[in-house]
């Protein structure tokens, strides 16, 4: 925007402010969406929003007023009994300004439902020019950096965030109706726990201690279970200092929920019911198109065993190669190139990277993955028939993991042994392995009931259900480098982890 245009808009703004013409309140009785659903002849209709388009034809003016619910046309005419309504609008209102308008509904000659304005009020001026309305904002970085403009100008972006809000609301209602309590757990913690991930570190000045930003809320939610809360959940903002990709961000929203006296089989049935309910409420059908692929959520979803799937897709039987050295040799012998540095990976992370390379992209239709090696889930309960596996499952759609869940480990002696194994992995350079969490062990030693737990990445779930190409498209304000590093920001993103 040129300096001259900005200064002109600024001058008009100052004039309105000095004349006390900017109202601090307006009685908005209808959202724009509600106005657009009214019938011709409805009177006394009051709405408010931003002017996003305007055209004048002699003594009549048409404009579109916008709020997050949608857009609707308004009409201002120059009449003999109140010419100032039209004249003041033309003189003082520009595209981008906020106004309140009251009037009655009519249908134009072109058939468009319109609010005929009898009175209006200027609420605030827009000093900068909005993007061109027909093309919206096409530059990706601008859409992320100035999300408010992206939402104003792009219907697709509005639809994504409306759907995200509906996803959260639908899941929350389903959990509450199923007897779950919503709780809040600490973001600042002294020990990173609940997941295999690299944390963010910070310093607590008042307590003079080093803290980490939580990587998961799992261990605190299970303490709630130990306190007698049978079912709990949290939409938790979580932080993992890891690589960035089209499906992975360092700060994200994770839903976790836990139920006493359930196991992974019971929870898998609950998750299937919850996800099918979500799909039906969001799309109105269990058969949907996601990213150009036909996805059918009806029927019974198939269940795959983890080691069998990896063996089928890679030719490597991970149950036979149980050391990082032997597994690494097999991966190299099969000429499989992992996306991660194989030399820095523990056996568990190597298996995970192999699965993500050869198997996960092929899992398009809804399915469950079960029987994970015990090393890959340090907080999960061992399978009673084969202690080399844990009672763990994932739910996948379109090659993306949407749900992780398992029967929780409630044996404090077994838990301590697994923490110690994780510490050994850390000593060998795996900075994502868990340290020993003594406070959590103390809680567990006081006794936990049988527990099943679930984790769902809300950003990734929204991405898949909305058909977005990048997870940033589902985040209102994703973290970006400052403008001084804008060229670096546009560098290609790393592969999906």
pLDDT at 497: 39
Domains 1-124 and 155-302+365-479 share a fold: no
pLDDT at 496: 41
In angstroms, the CA 454 to CA 404 distance is 6
pLDDT at 191: 86
In angstroms, the CA 321 to CA 338 distance is 17
Tokens of 290: 């996601």
Residues in the chain: 497
Q: 267-273 long-range CB contacts below 8 Å, 24 or more apart?
A: 267/393, 267/405, 267/407, 267/452, 267/453, 267/454, 268/368, 268/393, 268/405, 270/178, 271/395, 271/403, 271/405, 271/454, 272/301, 272/395
102 is in an annotated binding site: no
Which residues, including other chains, have CB under 8 Å from residue 212's CB and lie 6 or more apart? 188, 189, 190, 191, 192, 199, 200, 201, 202
Instruction: Determine how many CB atoms are found less than 10 A away from the CB of residue 47.
Output: 25
Q: Tell me the pTM.
A: 0.85
In angstroms, the CA 165 to CA 457 distance is 14
pLDDT at 8: 66
pLDDT at 488: 47
In angstroms, the CA 4 to CA 162 distance is 37
pLDDT at 489: 45
1-124: in CATH 2.40.50.140: yes
155-302+365-479: in CATH 3.30.465.10: no
In angstroms, the CA 430 to CA 198 distance is 9
pLDDT beneath 70, residues of the chain = 1-8, 10, 12-13, 17-20, 133-136, 430-432, 485-497
Segment 339-348, tens digit of pLDDT: 888 888 888 8
Q: Could you tell me the residue ranges of all domains in the chain?
A: 1-124, 155-302+365-479
In angstroms, the CA 435 to CA 484 distance is 37
pLDDT at 181: 98
Contact 463, 280 (CB under 8 A): no
């Amino acid at each position: 925007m040129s300096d001259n245009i900005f200064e002109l808009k600024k001058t008009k703004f100052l004039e309105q402010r000095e004349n006390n013409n900017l109202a601090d309140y307006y009685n908005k009785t209808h959202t724009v969406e509600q106005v657009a659903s009214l019938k011709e002849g409805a009177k006394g209709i009051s709405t408010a929003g931003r002017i996003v388009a305007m055209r004048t034809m002699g003594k009549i003016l048409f404009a579109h007023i916008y709020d997050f619910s949608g857009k609707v046309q308004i009409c201002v005419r120059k009449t003999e009994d109140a010419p100032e309504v039209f004249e003041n609008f033309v003189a003082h209102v520009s595209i981008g300004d906020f106004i309140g308008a009251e009037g009655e509904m009519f249908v134009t000659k072109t058939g468009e439902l319109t609010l005929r304005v009898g009175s209006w009020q200027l609420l605030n001026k827009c000093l900068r020019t909005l993007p061109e309305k027909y093309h919206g904002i096409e530059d990706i970085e601008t859409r992320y950096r100035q999300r408010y403009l992206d939402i104003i100008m792009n219907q697709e972006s509005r639809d994504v965030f409306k759907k995200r809000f509906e996803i959260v609301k639908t899941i929350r209602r389903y959990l509450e109706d199923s007897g779950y309590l919503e709780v809040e757990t600490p973001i600042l913690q002294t020990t990173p726990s609940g997941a295999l991930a690299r944390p963010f570190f910070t310093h607590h000045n008042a307590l003079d201690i080093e803290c980490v930003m939580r990587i998961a809320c799992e261990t605190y939610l299970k303490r709630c279970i130990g306190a007698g809360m049978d079912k709990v959940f949290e939409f938790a903002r979580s932080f993992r200092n890891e690589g960035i990709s089209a499906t992975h961000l360092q700060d994200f929203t994770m839903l976790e929920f836990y139920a006493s006296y359930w196991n992974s089989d019971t929870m898998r049935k609950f998750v299937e019911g919850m996800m099918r309910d979500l799909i039906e409420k969001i799309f109105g059908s269990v058969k949907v198109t996601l990213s150009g692929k036909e996805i059918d959520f009806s029927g019974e979803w198939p269940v795959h065993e983890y080691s069998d799937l990896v063996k089928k897709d890679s030719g490597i039987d991970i149950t036979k190669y149980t050391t990082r050295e032997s597994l690494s040799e097999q991966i190299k012998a099969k000429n499989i190139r992992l996306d991660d540095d194989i030399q820095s990976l523990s056996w568990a992370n190597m298996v995970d990277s192999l699965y993500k390379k050869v198997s996960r992209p092929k899992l398009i239709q809804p399915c469950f993955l079960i029987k994970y090696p015990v090393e890959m889930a340090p907080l999960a309960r061992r399978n009673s028939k084969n202690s080399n596996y844990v009672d763990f499952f994932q739910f996948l759609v379109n090659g993306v993991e949407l749900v992780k869940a398992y029967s929780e480990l409630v044996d404090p002696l077994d838990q301590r042994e697994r923490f110690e194994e994780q510490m050994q992995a850390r000593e060998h350079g795996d900075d994502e392995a868990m340290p020993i969490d003594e406070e959590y062990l103390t809680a567990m030693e006081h006794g936990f009931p049988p527990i099943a737990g679930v984790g769902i990445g809300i950003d990734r779930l929204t991405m898949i259900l909305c058909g977005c190409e990048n997870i940033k498209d589902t985040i209102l304000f994703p973290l970006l480098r400052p403008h001084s590093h804008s060229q670096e920001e546009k560098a290609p993103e790393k592969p999906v982890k």
